[in-house]
Chain A
Amino acid sequence: MVGAHPRAVVVSSRDEVLARLRAARDAGGATAPEVPREYRRTGTAPPGSPEVVDRLTETLTDYKATVHRVADEDDVSATIADILESAGVTTFVAPPGLPARWLGEVTARVRPDEPPLSVAKLDAVDAVVTGAAVAIADTGTFVLDALAPDQGRRAISLVPDHHVCVVRAADVVSSVPEGVARLDPTHPLTFVSGPSATSDIELDRVEGVHGPRRLDVVLVGPSSAPE
């Protein structure tokens, strides 16, 4: 392959690897096949519909997140206040752009991440409250965008042991393809599905390792069946 060239003196690793790969690719076949995309790219119910919000509630609960349904955004702050109080939270971190109305009734002390808190300070707070970019009902997932003002840099939703995440119905989609399509891949993203867990002991899922061990999701929007 390479190296046999009479004038080649020093070949960089990059050139050599690429030359090998080109030769190998040509030998093995360079015709790109048409990719069959017959799978579903839209979900069974439209984004934000009561059906997808109900399904998200089920899938989140199944993976040990606690879901709190509220009818509209006015009820968010009372719910967050309850969650933090019942968990005994005295201090929590919030991203700089968290809507102030979500915290109106909260009595625990908020530490805004502005200027950015040190890792030691993050480790000393009891909880974090964030929004979410999108949530996927089929899989029980919400996605945090580190550049969204109400979600904040990745460290703040990682180091504290208790995460409270507010998800708006309008941001809930049914399927993974719809979720992926709404995200900006140039931003740092974290897909979260339940509290931290491991399958490393006898291949069964156990909750609670290095990430937040407690996860509460406040889901804002109407449900299909009256409660």
Chain B
Amino acid sequence: MTTDLGMPTVASDPYGHLRGSESFPVAARRSLADTQLRQNLGHATRTIRAKRAGVVAEVDDWEELRRAGEGVKADVMARLPELLVQFEEAVTARGGVVHWARDAVEANRIVVDLVRGTGVEEVVKVKSMATQETGLNEALGEAGIAALETDLAELIVQLSDDRPSHFLVPAIHRNRSEIRDIFLREMPDVDPELTDEPRLLAMAARAHLRRKFLSARVGISGANFAVADTGTISVVESEGNGRMCLTLPDTLITVMGVEKIVPTWSDLEVFLQLLPRSSTGERMNPYTSTWSGVTPGDGPQTFHVVLLDNGRSNVLASPDGRQALHCIRCSACLNVCPVYERAGGHAYGSVYPGPIGAVLTPQLTGIRGTDDVSASLPYASTLCGACFDACPVRIDIPHLLVQQRAAAVDAHTRPTTQDVAMRAAAAAMSSPGRFSLVERALKLGRLIGRSGRIRSVPGPGAAAWFGARDMPTPPAETFRQWWARTRGPSS
């Protein structure tokens, strides 16, 4: 098995919130024991899977759109440096200022300095994966600047001092009555009679944030897409909190990963179809804003954009692995993943959970050695393939998972017997036929596992792999069989 991680990785670890603090199996074991969490996740992911399937079925050229999305992103990777320079020129020509950040620490420093320059002590934020990745809120906090999350789910996470567990709905692990309790506890001005009716919860959030929006002087956003030839940035959202942050403040600072570039405006005709149907399961999300630099008389008159590398160049160097940068963060792969549905987003440690997180995170951070928690992420999968079928830009996540498993093994300084076993397991996982062999071995394990734990599994090198994960005795049915039975053909 070869790996494509030929590029040197960055020596220090200034990556922000990419590397977790414990390995996936350890963290997952805890969340699996949380029945409420599993019920919440099961309910939410079932809802969204049905919605997505309905709106995708309406589009008769869906497969052609997926292929176009894949093609545009592959083209972007092949021309990324040139497209970024073109984008920089376009933004600058239209009155914006472009900054470049090597890593999370540098991005945060740039933003903190910019906010300090305005003299304000509070900023409003629209949900952005990039600033979650860099840990911007903490950096602002250390500088005495309060960062107010305005997306409903982010607000729930922030108020309860929690961590996000999903791209799209960071509070997906909370149900309505938990949300009500958080609001009652943390919102000073909330109606004490608040019920858990979703409409009333949304209105409570509106009342809580309204004055902040109307007086905000600095807004901070991420970007869904950035158009190289026009310097246009696009933010896709639902609630209108994004529009508030992008429109009303005097100063807007956008932090985006370098991979968010698309070559031309007309490429958005593909992504504005793929993204909403894949993420919220809507024909179109309520609001999408686009702007190019500064427009006299409309919106913020000072505009900065921070282009973030933070390990993305590591990923770009891998011919196959760079597919992980094609991700448009729709979260469809999370919603269809049987492992995510049970383990939840927190078990992945990184701000990028689920199948895409399992292949993106270890590539961004690199794998430092045997005990690097990122190395356990590629094993957080059954390789059932549902993520590929759901992915609007056709990222071959199962292939990347297998590749990252091999990379995890290669990260060791000396090969051990376990390495060899893990490699063999990875190889077995790479072809459905051989995977079935391992699965059958697993079933055999059920017959022989007396203590409730699998000690050894016959099969191609699987023994050490499963032994290392301290697998509970598997059910009579394998994941793949279970999946085929309960989900039917892919949705």
Contacts and interface: CB of A to CB of B under 8 A. Distances in A.
B214 A36 contact: no
B317 A18 contact: no
Contacts of A198: 152, 202, 238-239
A185 B286 contact: no
A5 interface: no
A192 B79 CA distance: 32
A196 B286 contact: yes
Contacts of A192: 286-287
Which of the listed residues A13, A14, A21, A158 has the most CB atoms from chain B within 10 Å of its own CB? A21
Nearest to B179: A201
A119 B288 contact: no
Interface stretch (A26-34, A103-111, A217-225): A26-34
B36 interface: no
A197 to B, nearest CB: 5
A28 B318 contact: yes
Give the size range of A's interface with the partner: 35 or more
B285 interface: yes
A180 B266 contact: yes
Interface residues of B, number: 107
A210 interface: yes
B299 A188 contact: yes
Interface string A178-204: 001101011111111111111111111
A210 B154 CA distance: 14
Q: Could you tell me the dominant secondary structure of chain B's interface residues?
A: helix
Contacts of A69: none
A39 B286 contact: no
A180 B272 contact: yes
Given A31-B78, A123-B214, A204-B198, A146 B295 contact: yes
Interface string B302-321: 00000101001111111101
B266 A188 contact: no
B375 interface: no
Interface in A108-140: 116, 119-120, 123, 136, 138-140
A17 interface: yes
Contacts of A78: none
Nearest to B75: A32
Nearest to B239: A209
A158 B206 CA distance: 13
B292 A185 contact: yes
A37 interface: yes
B309 A17 contact: yes
B205 interface: yes
A1 interface: yes
Contacts of B203: 208-209
Given A33-B71, A202-B43, A211 B239 contact: yes
Interface string A31-51: 111111111110000000000
Contact of A194 (B71, B286, B295): B286
A136 B268 CA distance: 14
B4 A21 contact: no
B168 interface: yes
Interface in A131-174: 136, 138-141, 146-147, 153-155, 158-159
Nearest to B43: A202
B80 interface: yes
Contact of B68 (A24, A38, A201): A38
Given A139-B283, A201-B198, A18 B84 contact: yes
Which 10 residue pairs across A and B have the least CB separation, nearest first?
Answer: A211-B240, A35-B71, A210-B240, A209-B239, A24-B317, A139-B284, A39-B64, A191-B288, A177-B269, A200-B153
Given A200-B151, A202-B44, A209-B238, 19 more contacts: A13-B100, A17-B313, A24-B315, A28-B318, A38-B67, A154-B289, A158-B240, A180-B268, A181-B266, A185-B265, A194-B286, A196-B238, A202-B175, A202-B198, A203-B44, A204-B198, A208-B206, A209-B241, A211-B286
20 contacts: A13-B99, A21-B312, A25-B81, A25-B317, A32-B74, A119-B248, A139-B284, A180-B272, A185-B227, A186-B94, A188-B290, A190-B288, A192-B287, A195-B286, A197-B239, A199-B168, A202-B43, A202-B198, A203-B45, A208-B206
